[in-house]
Structures are given as structure tokens and as C-alpha cells.
Amino acid sequence: MNKPADLPIGVTADAPALQPQVGVSRAHEAAHLHVSGEAVYIDDIAEAHGTLHAALGLSPIAHGTLVSIDVEQLRRQPGVVAVLTAADIPGENNCGPLVHDDPILADGELRYVGQPVYAVIATDRELARRAAAMAKQFIVATPLPAVLTAREAHAIGQCVIPPMHLARGDAAAAIAAAPHRLDGEWAVGGQEQFYLEGQISYALPQENQALLIHCSTQHPSEMQQLVAHALGWQSHQVTVQCRRMGGGFGGKESQSALFACVAAIAAQRLRRPVKLRIDRDDDFLVTGRRHGFDYRWSVGFDPEGRILGAEIDLISNCGHSADLSAPVMARALCHFDNAYWLPNVSMHGYGAKTHTQSNTAFRGFGGPQGALAIEMILDGIARRIGLDPLLVRQRNFYREGQDVTPYGQRVEDNLIGPLTDRLIETSGYHARRAEIAAFNATSPVLKRGLALTPVKFGISFNVVHLNQAGALVHVYTDGSVLVNHGGTEMGQGLNTKVAQVVAHELGVPVSQVRASATDTSKVANTSATAASTGSDLNGKAAQDAARKIRQRLAPLAARLLGGAEDALVFDGGEVRAGARAVGFKELVAKAYLERIQLWSDGFYATPGLHWDRAKLQGNPFFYYAFGAAVAEVLVDTLTGETRVLRADVLHDVGQSLNPALDIGQVEGAFVQGQGWLTSEELVWHPQTGLLLTHAPSTYKIPTANDMPRDFRVALYDAPNAADSIHRSKAVGEPPLLLPFSVLLAIKDAVAACGPQRCDPPLRAPATPEAVLDAVDAVRA
């Protein structure tokens, strides 16, 4: 074949080795921008001429009837341009994602201390905040009794969602017939997301009755829809963009809507750009967080610690509205089994309505709250019969013939046994158990504890229709590539992984691929970046788009190189057929001249999912991710102070797309989960309902000093049996359950202060006060 003069084709003696773009560690695509301060977040966007600033006036009482707002006095405050109340909302006064029970601004009823009642729009942010802070002075309300705890609300039947029940077998009969029985009550607190970038939205009016909204959100499409509803508009009039977030963790999935709606309503009403950025204290007071759970259980078991029957009530503190409480409870019920076969089980989920912030998504989305209960139960069983809790866990593991969950899904590709066995060996668990027993026998004040806990976590949205994604891939005539997808980047490296996937499909270096801002005008009707599905869904959609482009280029490349289309190799920035090659850039330029389409859309819907929400039965998950962790702690029994001396983690991410990013996610999840269970305590004033822990001075997230002194994280490298993107597995949420080992290691250390077979009543979070109370209890 004659070589075209305008298309140089190289000839090599031997085909070079492939240059993989996935499965290798690469830096986060914006890491250099993060460390240099050049990464642009919403508050860094240059403000348009005439930008106004909004602030929220918050309810000073936990429950009451709103009588009036002195709007005229508020308008007279310095710099104030307008004051918005519920009466000024042209469309629906709702920012709730599922049940329309969450007003943007209070209308008639005040539901919690911190509920937005009005919005002040001013020429300056500080002036807006000063006027908004006069809520106590300008709001007239009639107080009503407030319910502040989930137990109290449950006792009087006050709920935001109907009860949920999930059962298999006859739990009551199995418990009654069992040789041993354990009854217990316990509770775990909620957790603030504490994203470093607070909630913010910036709304800019566009021509012909349209708005562009820059919003720090995990769910741009939902923001688009809720803003449209609030304005009484159609969705095509609203465009929502998000280049990146400074963290989300679920707190910007549904609850960014209030801020987007207020900014949008003000911008449309005043025909001026409006920015709403609240400070950390107000963020705590306005928004919800991880649901706290109360538990009551009865369990029957045999002398070897195998569970024969279990019955449990799970009572979640939902706050004043439904938000995402229904799917959170559904996931909690579906994860109560964690890694264990429960032949007879009866679970009852109740969503309590309290006069507090409406709780919402948080990394794990109910899964951690469900799985933590069974871990506490198994630990209690082991202590009562005098066995190592690890042995009791292993005896209850899912295994062949006992591998169907209570909701009817088979646990396929079950890695929990071999993964745990490997971690036991690499961590030296048994030798360390003996060393710790010897240490505790001679140390009256300092006590050490050790625990190993496993994880089985289902991957997919509980709601089947959310498991879909779209993407656009553009190839330019210089060979560079732009990808846009429906996922949002919140620091987790989603854009990096998607760029790697596209680079791999087109055979170009990842440096040639750029991911652009998430934008509802580019990829429509997207799902939230949540449920650990970001890479699974958007990676597959982007792969689909890139493959379509590759398939369009293949006939041209085959014709130029004289080879068969199915023998072409796209790799290393060129396309090869045997010993002949053409550069990708040159091929693309030729394709443009021949009018071959160089852009494509892509779509992906997760296969094999079905779910009966009424019966809580089906196949809600595409696959399971597994993991295990061993934690060793030191407890000072005089002060209650604890330290994590060492943590050994082995986590299953399938065939990793990017091991460096995945290890970082595991490390971050471990420390975040450790904070939830040890230091992050939420406290409301029992009379006023004010959240007292509403700032970093009183709410203690973990710092670098709280990380395990010796932190060993490894990936269990086995390809996913399911057809996921490059056989990888999700990594966002599952590892948050690994630090159960820290809480139970602390409990193990406290148990060393009491008689054999004692079961310390350790609260979570295991703050120094909680530890001291548990020490006193076992010593008594």
C-alpha cells in the first residue's frame, strides 16, 4: 500500500510493549492545583458585576408556630437590598429530595433551632450576615414542646417514614429454642460531614429567563430540578455546574438544594447575581448529618457462638423531615448481616421524627449503622462464652450453602474467608493477642486491646433506576481528548479514573485527556455521585463513548495500515497493525478530513438489579466489596484517653484502576470512621434544642495526631467477578466500616480492667468520658 504523503506511517521491526493507562498509580489530576492553591472552587470564581450576597435568618426555637417576621425592620438594615420569606417563593416551597416535606424557608411551623426562616440579600456578605443574625429580634413565634431524641419520638409514634420489616425464618422460635440468649440495647451517634468547603451556591441570571448556578453539590441534576420547581420553571431554564467540591461525603447530595434554591430565587427576583455562602457554625446548625441509631436486640446462639436467631429494632434519628432517611434505613437493614449467615432473623426499622436538623446521606449511607450492630452483638456473644471474638466471627461467616442474604441475594465471589485468613497471617494476630494479654496482666493503668473486624458491602444504589450514567467524549483534531460525565469530583479522584479509562480505550497517554466540569447542559438526568458508584457508572459510560469513537476510526486505520480492524492495537499514542503504525494525532486529523465523527455520547445502566421496596427482597447490589482490619489500641484507664498504636488493613478493590488513589481512599475512610466512633460527639441542649457542638472548638474531628501510629494498608488484588469497569471495585464507602476494629479494640482494652467474660458497656463515640464510664462499670 502506498503511504499517503500527508500521513506519515512508521514501520517498526517489533511491536513495542503495551503502555497501560489503567491499573497503574497516577497522581490526582488536580493534585498540583490543590497544593499550589490554584484549584478553583466556587468562592474563587470571579464575581460578576453587581453580585449580591445572601445570608439566612435562622429559627431561634426548636419547635413552634411562626407568627410574624418584621421584614420592614430587616430591610432598613445597612446594605440590605431585599428580604425573602416563604411568601416570596414563586413555585414549590420544598427542597426535600423524595418526600416533599422540607420547606426552603419556614412557612407556619418552626421545626428546629437553625431552620432557615428568611433570607437577607445585601450588597456585602458581612452586612447580609449581620442582618440575618437578628432573627431573635425580628421573628415572633409561639413555642411548642420539642422532641429531641429518637427514643422519645419512637415511644410516641412520631416518625417521618413508615416502618420497614425484613425477616427470614422464625427468629422468635429460634431464639426461644437456643441454648444461650443475649438481650441488649445500644446506641451510636451521628456524624457531621465536615467538608472543608462549606455549602455554597452562586446564581447568575442569563438571557431569556434562564439561570446558571455554580453549586457545590454531588447531585447537579437534582439541584436543577428543585430550583426549577421552586421558580415554577422548566428544567431547561436552569443550568447547574460543578467543577469540584472541597469534600462532600454525602452532605452535598440532597442538602445543597436549600442553598441553590435561595440563591436562585433571589437572583431571579432581583435580576442580579447572588451568592450564598454560609459559615461553619451556620452550616452545622442548618444542615443534617449521619443518622444516629438506637438498637434493641435479642439473639439466640449455640455454645460455639453461632447465631441461631436474631431479632432487632433499629431506630434512626431522622430529624424533622424525611430527606433520604428511607433509603438509609433500607441499606442499614440490608447490611445488618455484614459478613455473617443469619438463618433466622427479624429486623424492624423505624425512622423517628425529632425537632433537629434533617439527617441525610453520609459515606456508607446507613450501611455502617446496620453492620455495627451485628459486630457489637458478636463481640458480646464471644465475651459471654469466653472465646476470642475473631473465632466467633469466623464461625458465623457466609460460606457455601449458607450464602443467601436475608433480602434474597446470593453472596457470590465470597472473599471474606481467604481475605481474613491472609490478614490474620500478615498482621500476626494470634501472637499479638498473647503479647497483649501478658502486657495487661502486669499493667494496672495502661491497657491494650486488639480486634479484627470484617466488611461485606453491597455496591449499587438501593433505588434501581439511579444506577445509570452518561458521558460525552470529544476528540479534537490535534489528538487531545475532552471528557464530560455526570459524576462530580469531590477530591476522591473520579475525574482521574475516568480520564484513565478514556485514555486506555483510545490508546493515548492520560496527559492527553482532560475532564471538564460537571454540567447539566452537557450530560442530562444524572444520578448523584454517591453509593460508591462514581467510577463504576461514569467509567463505564465514558468507556462506551470512547469505544464508539475508536470503532469509527478503526476502518480508516485498517485501510491506511493494510491490516484487519480486529487486529488493530490502540496504544502509546499510535495505532498499530503488526509492524506498521500511525500516530493517533495523524489518524484523527485524517479522519476529520474524511468527515468521520470524532465525538460521541456514552451510556451505562448496571445490569441484573431488581428490588421490591415493599417486601425488601431482590438483588439490590451488582457485587460486594470485602475487607478486614486489625486494630491495636492503648487505653489510659485514669483519663480515658485512647491511642491507636497500629492498624493493619486489607481491602478488596478488585483489579484497581489506580492503586494510589484507592489506598488513599481506604486510609481516609478508616480515619473518618475512627473519628465517628471515638471523638465526634454531637450534643443538643436538652431544653432549648440548640446543637452545642456546632464548631471545631466543640466538635472534634480526627487530626493527623489521631491516625494509627503504625498504619499498614494493602489492597487484596483479585479481579472483580462482575463485569465492572476493568474488573475494579468501588472504594468510597466500604472501608469506612473497617475502623469498627478500633471501637472494639478499645472495648477489648476496657474488658481487661474487669473480671473474665465481662462485657463492657462502651458507648459510641468512645470519648474519654465514655471510656471512663465503661472502665468504672466493669470494675464495679
Query: Any residues with CB less than 8 A from the CB of 490 and at least 6 apart, and which?
Result: 195, 218, 244, 245, 246, 247, 248, 249, 252, 529
Q: What is the DSSP letter of 601?
A: E
As a whole number of angstroms, the distance between CA 212 and CA 237 comes to 9
3-state secondary structure of 657: coil
As a whole number of angstroms, the distance between CA 559 and CA 4 comes to 11
As a whole number of angstroms, the distance between CA 322 and CA 100 comes to 8
As a whole number of angstroms, the distance between CA 369 and CA 331 comes to 9
Q: What angle do CA 480, 483, 485 make, to 5 degrees?
A: 180
Is 619 exposed, middle or buried, given 0-12, 13-18 or 19+ CB atoms closer than 10 A? Answer: middle
As a whole number of angstroms, the distance between CA 92 and CA 702 comes to 40
C-alpha cell read off for 180: 444461650
Phi-psi region at 365: left, alpha or beta (left = phi > 0; alpha = psi -120 to 50) = left
As a whole number of angstroms, the distance between CA 121 and CA 71 comes to 12
Q: Which helix (H) or strand (E) holds 293?
A: strand 293-301
Residue with cell 506511517: 9
Query: Any residues with CB less than 8 A from the CB of 41 and at least 6 apart, and which?
Result: 197, 200, 216, 243, 244, 245, 246
3-state secondary structure of 161: strand
Helices marked H in 443-574:
494-506, 534-561
As a whole number of angstroms, the distance between CA 195 and CA 199 comes to 9
Q: Are 93 and 262 in contact (CB under 8 A)?
A: no
Q: Are 468 and 606 in contact (CB under 8 A)?
A: yes
Phi-psi region at 743: left, alpha or beta (left = phi > 0; alpha = psi -120 to 50) = alpha
Cis peptide before 765 (omega within 30 of 0): yes
Q: Are 674 and 742 in contact (CB under 8 A)?
A: yes
Bridge partners of 502, per DSSP, are: none
Q: Which of 29, 222, 680, 733 is catalytic?
A: 733
As a whole number of angstroms, the distance between CA 161 and CA 158 comes to 9
Q: What is the DSSP letter of 690?
A: -
As a whole number of angstroms, the distance between CA 375 and CA 378 comes to 5
As a whole number of angstroms, the distance between CA 127 and CA 78 comes to 7
As a whole number of angstroms, the distance between CA 369 and CA 677 comes to 11
> Quick one: how far is CA 505 from the chain centroid?
28
Nearest to 557 by CA among 526, 579, 581, 528: 581
Q: Are 455 and 339 in contact (CB under 8 A)?
A: yes
Q: What angle do CA 125, 268, 67 make, to 5 degrees?
A: 70
Residue type, 360: T
Q: Are 242 and 517 in contact (CB under 8 A)?
A: yes
Q: Are 651 and 778 in contact (CB under 8 A)?
A: no
Asked if 253 is an active-site residue, the reply is no
* Residues constituting the chain: 780
As a whole number of angstroms, the distance between CA 97 and CA 322 comes to 9
As a whole number of angstroms, the distance between CA 39 and CA 45 comes to 10
Q: What angle do CA 235, 237, 242 make, to 5 degrees?
A: 80
Q: Are 8 and 586 in contact (CB under 8 A)?
A: yes
Catalogue the active-site residues.
Answer: 733
